[in-house]
Each structure stands twice: as C-alpha cells, then as structure tokens.
Amino acid sequence: MSAEFVVWGPLVRADVPGVCARLEDELRRTGAGTVTVDLAAVTGAGAAAVDAVARLRLTAGRAGCRVRFLHVAAELRAVLTLVGLGELLADGG
C-alpha cells in the first residue's frame, strides 16, 4: 500500500515538527509501505525546508516506510546537494 502526502509552504522552522507529526499519523492510519511526498507548494530553500526534507525522510524510515519526494524545486534540490543531503532525493525526488 502507498500513501500520498502534501507539504504546504512556505515553511518556517516551527512548522517542521507538525509536518512530521502529520506524516507519522498518515503512515499509522494507512499502514503504507511507501509514501510519496509532494513538495510542489514548498517555496524557497531555507533551513526550514532542508530540515523538513531530512526529518520527513527520518519519520518515514522510523515507520518502516520508503519515501519518494516529488516536485522538488531546483533551488531546494541544489541546496540539499550542497549540504550533502542530495541522496535524500535518490528515490525519485
């Protein structure tokens, strides 16, 4: 089973725990083995967006779920790569 999850933006650092909690709830509710995280609405590539991507990947992993990131803005992709987190997008981001 798979699930779809949408992240809205812009994000500030205070949003990140709530976004991760929403994903955790969704994965618990659906029992999904794979989740597609749509980042199309995430604007900017600041620390909060980078933190959100990293923590969403951790949240999914802790639930035993694979994650794919879709619609990652070029700017965010570049920043993730620059800080050594580009591999987080390897599953299809």
List the strands of the sheet with 34-41, edge to edge: 2-8, 34-41, 66-70
What average pLDDT does the segment 49-63 reach? Answer: 96
Q: What's the whole-number average pLDDT of the chain?
A: 92
Percent of the chain's residues with pLDDT above 90: 82
How high is the pLDDT of residue 76? 94
Query: Do residues 68 and 36 touch, judged by C-beta distance below 8 A?
Result: yes
**Is it the case that residue 33 has pLDDT exceeding 70?**
yes
Instruction: Please state whether 86 falls in left (phi above 0), alpha (psi between -120 and 50) or beta.
Output: alpha
How high is the pLDDT of residue 91? 55
Query: What separation, in Å, do the N-terminal and C-terminal C-alpha atoms of the chain show?
Result: 19
What average pLDDT does the segment 48-72 reach? Answer: 95
Query: Do residues 60 and 28 touch, judged by C-beta distance below 8 A?
Result: no
